[in-house]
Structure formats: C-alpha cells, structure tokens
Structure 1
C-alpha cells in the first residue's frame, strides 16, 4: 500500500470510528443533558478553543480568521448548523435506529446531486443496485416501525434534506476555498458557535436552561451529565478534523457511504445499552440498508490528461507532494505566482543551443512554497 493510500485509509477509519461512537455518545448526553442546542454549542466551543490553543502551541497550523473568508464560508456554516440542529432534535424524538436509517438514505440523494450539480461520473450499475438496496431497506424499516410519530419523522425528513445539502455543499467549499484542514475546522465551528444563540431564542431553549439553573441552585450539570457532555465535546473535536480531512481525500458520495457503513458498530452498541430500539423485523431492514451501503462503490473519476515540462511540475505542486515541494497544507499559489509560472513556461519553450548548460530556476512562492523548474 502506497503512503497516500495508507493516509487516506487512516483518515477514513478515523472518521468512521468517531462518527459511529459520536452518535451513541450524543444520545447518551441528550438523555442526561436534555438541551441539544447548548450541547452542540459546547462542542463547537471545544473545537474552536482546541484548534486555537494547539495552533498557539505550535502543534498545528490553521489559517488566520478574516471576515472576508468568514463571509464566503458563512453559507456552508449555516447548512452545517442546520444539519446538526435537525440531527439532535431527531435523536430527542426517535431512537438511534431511525436516525441510522435516514442517515443511510443520504448516498442516494448525494449521488444524484453529485451527478447533476457537480458533474461527477454517473454511478455504475452495481452502484445503482446498491442504492436501490439502501432504499428498499429504509422503506421496510419505516413500514415496520411501531413507534412511528409525525414529530419524529418530520425531524427525520428535515435532517435528510439538510445533511444531503451539507454533504454536497461542504465538498464544494473544501474544493474552492484556499484553507487547510484546521482552517476549515476553525471557521466551521466558530461560525456555528456564533449562529447558536439565534436558535436558542427561536426554539425557546434558553428559558429551559434558566429554569433548570434556578431549580438546581445555580448548577446545570450532574456528574453523569458532565461526563457525557465532556465526552461528546472531545469526540466532536476529533470528528471535525477527520470529517474535513476525509472530505478532501475522497468524493462526497464515498464520504457519505463511509458514514453509512460505520453504523454497524452503532447498531450493536444501541441494542446492548438501550431498551428502546427497533423490532427484530426493523433491525433486519436496518441491516439490509447498511449492507446496501457496503455494496456501494465510489464512482470512477475521469483521469486527467498528463502534461509535460514545467506545467507538469505545477500540477505536482497542486497535489502537495512532500518530496518535491514545501507547502503549508491547504495553501496554493497566489495570482502573482501563477503569472511567474507562466513566464517560466514561455522561457522553457524557447529553443536553446545544443551545448547549453542545464539551468535551474528557483521560484519562491509564498507562503513557504519552493517550486523548482529545470530548463535545458
């Protein structure tokens, strides 16, 4: 296995573990701390402070916060917040199995959105068959859900729409904005933290929090609730990193399928620790849905035509090959640097004498990018 494949696999495994455990931990936290808006805000706060402090200590690098970039990222942050908002409310009114089923439906919608809006390759026949298996399992689960309520499934449909939009739109933002992974984590969580108070007032949750504080003598956390909230904050921080890193490494549809497959672990834990779970028939339909996710394979991407000469060096630099360039993760050349590269390309195409010596031109592209182009 090549180093790039190993790195990609590590990111996907890290995201899968965090995602599967976070669903159970959040259900545990909401059970003992029934304030989903405040819970997610504490997760955003933990991730924001964590990135900032680790950056100050030199353990990681993140892009500086600017309002211009924040304005560009704000729509993605709003969609992300809505996805988490509908997710937590779904967990309040339904069991984890219902959440998993609707989460499993997202590859079908994301595959359609990828093909229509992002010009991705059409799914293969095997891929399409797997999507139909996912849909069949979901329909079977809903038909056999004895705990069906209009409130729960209203939140489920809202979650399905927002999470599908988030999967595709965040992938677009990752591809278009010149931010590294930790920069995305910082912007996403900080902006979501700023949005949180708006929904506290819209949902009236702030009144419940104040009432609970007054009733408990100024204390909001019991020992079990404190442990559950702290654990959810830690995993929320970890999934922020693995989530954005995995989005950069794989396609939006493959990223979504990864989140579906890891629900096997969530199902096992949910059956073991909770008495509120689906019936045996519902669990079978749930497993069928997850098996459809396993059968789903990533669409084959269209290979780019190789180029030669100095232009190929530029393409290699875009891949951030550590053996040829020194580059802060996530950064690309500025417009001025691109002009200099074009000038070098024109120079390379000029005829030279047969006895000319090999000339090495060194182009320094800020920040910290060294690009070497050899002209003979």
Structure 2
C-alpha cells in the first residue's frame, strides 16, 4: 500500500470537504449555514461517531481484504433496522425484510467460515467498524431530522468537527511518528502515483458527503444503509478482476449472497 496512513487520508478528505464548502460559499456557488459554537456543540456527538466510523473503515481496509470489508458492511442493515425501531420509533421491519436480512446474515457466516485470510486483528477492526457504522446511521439520521441545518451546512459541520478530532488520533495511534519516519526515509509517498488517487479520494469525499446527507433526509436509516450495500456490487467485480487479494470461490459466493440479500431488502422497501 503506497499511502498506509488511514488517519492522514481521512483528515485530508475532511480538510478538502470543509475548505470546498467554505470557498464555494464565499463565491456564492452554494449556500451553507453559518458556523456558531452552540450548533457545533450540539453536532459534536454526530461528528465523533462519524469520525469513528470512517477511522474503523480505514483500519479495516488496511488490515483485511475488500471482500471482508463488504461482508461486514452488508451486516450493518440488520443492526440499523433494530436501532431504527428502538431509538427512532419506526415500525419493526416486515417479515419479508427480516427474511432478506437473514439472507445477508447467512451469506456472511458462509464467508467467515471459508475466509483463509482470517486474522484476529482484521476481525477486531471489522467488529469495531460494524458497531460504529450501525450507531452512525441511526444517530445521524436523528441529527439530520432535528438539528435544522441545510445539506451543505451538515457537510460543513460534520467535516470540520471531524477534522478537529484528527490530532487525537495522531497521539493515540502513533501515526505521526510513522509519517515522519517515512518522510525521512525518502519513500515515494509524494509521487504522482500516490498524490493522484489521494487527491481524487478527497474530491469524491466531498461529493459523497453531500449526496450522503441528501439521501439521509429522503429515506430511512435502514434504506440508506441498504443502498450502501447494493452499490458495492461494482466494487466486488473490480476486486475480482484486478486484485489477487480476495476470498475463495465459496467465500465469494457467500459475499454475493450478502449482496443479494441487500437487493431483496431494497426491493421490499420499494414495494412498501
């Protein structure tokens, strides 16, 4: 991996999104809510949860293959469906939805049982990612519907506050020491092959942040979670074609079963 600094990568994405909203707002390209300390304080828990979800996301991708990431991402709707009912006072999912969620669970079990890349470190991060993402989807849905910010305001507050949390990660994870060592060791972290994908990820981060908050307004927390599962199909295809670090044939079948369950859930939501 040419840029093995998950904390620094997410911080660059936060910085790009924050600066992009502020500059575009200054140029009258878009409108965002103004910054004030009271709203920042109210938004802080959501920013912390968002930061933890992206941090565990990055650590999981660092320690596990893409297939493992997608399987655990596919499990998130199960816990979000429960959390949405218990904490957002939504009705319990229908029987068809539970059957679809059970399909996701069955596929994930099949994958785990055949995963020859299994390590305690990777699956520890996977569990942390699962918990943080489930909490993120439920709580941020609550924030989006109650805090009174427009979509660009949500993007600004979310990324700015997450950026302010970055120094804590540097201290806790020791990433700063690793970055200093690699810079002094004359690694190729500043080469075009590294800068281009990192820069593109920052631009995509801004667009994903905007469209993500727009979707959270429009659909349920469970529906938004399932949407994220279904759009991983292209990722699976690319991973199988380009990379050699993927699961066995049976593990891939389990992965596709997970995604099929996500499609079933999406179909049930459309019919409801």
With the length of structure 1 as denominator, give the TM-score of the two structures: 0.70
Moved over 2 A (4+): 297-301
1:295 paired to 2:264:
yes
Match for residue 114 of structure 2?
144
Q: Unpaired runs of 5+ in structure 1?
A: 1-30, 302-376
Query: CA shift at 1:158, angstroms?
Result: 0.3
1:247 equivalenced with 2:216 (yes/no)? yes
Aligned to 1:275: 244
C-alpha separation in 2, matches of 1:284 and 1:300 = 27
Q: Does 1:64 align with 2:34?
A: yes
For 1:192 and 1:122, locate their aligned partners in 2 and report how far apart those are by CA, in whole Å. 32
CA displacement at 1:220 relative to structure 2: 4.3
2:146 aligned with 1:176, yes or no? Answer: yes
Residues 105 and 160 of structure 1 are in contact (CA less than 8 Å); yes or no, is this contact kept in structure 2? yes
Please give the alpha-carbon distance, in whole angstroms, between the structure 1 residues aligned to 2:260 and 2:90.
Answer: 24
SS where residue 247 of structure 2 aligns?
A: coil
Q: Write out per-residue CA displacement over residues 262-317 of structure 1, whole angstroms, 9 at most, x where no aligned residue.
A: 1111100111111101111111010000000111133998xxxxxxxxxxxxxxxx
Choose the corresponding residue for 1:116, options 64, 67, 86: 86
1:229 to 190, 193, 198: 198
Shift, 1:118, TM fit: 1.1
> Aligned partners of 2:35 and 2:98: how far apart in 1?
42
Deviation of the 1:111 alpha carbon: 0.4
SS at match of 1:199: helix
Matched, 1:79 2:46: no
Match of 2:61 in 1: 91
Shift of 1:55: 0.6
Q: Where does residue 211 of structure 1 map in the other structure?
A: 181
Q: SS where residue 295 of structure 1 aligns? A: helix
Partner deviation per Cα, 1:14-50 (whole Å, 9 max, x = no partner): xxxxxxxxxxxxxxxxx21111110110000000000
The unaligned stretches of length 5 or more in structure 2 are none
- Larger RCO (CA within 8 A; separation ≥ 6): 2
SS for the counterpart of 1:221 is: coil
Aligned residues of 1:137 and 1:288 also touching (Cα < 8 A): yes
Which of 156, 176, 188 is residue 126 of structure 2 equivalent to? 156
Task: Please identify the structure whose Cα radius of gyration is greater.
Answer: 1
Alpha-carbon separation, structure 2, partners of 1:267 and 1:184: 30
With normalisation by structure 2, the TM-score equals 0.97
DSSP-derived class of the 1:65 partner: coil
2:107 and 2:257 in contact (8 A); partners too: yes
More helix by share: 2
Question: Following the alignment from structure 1 to structure 2, what is the Cα–Cα distance between the partners of residues 166 and 81?
Answer: 9
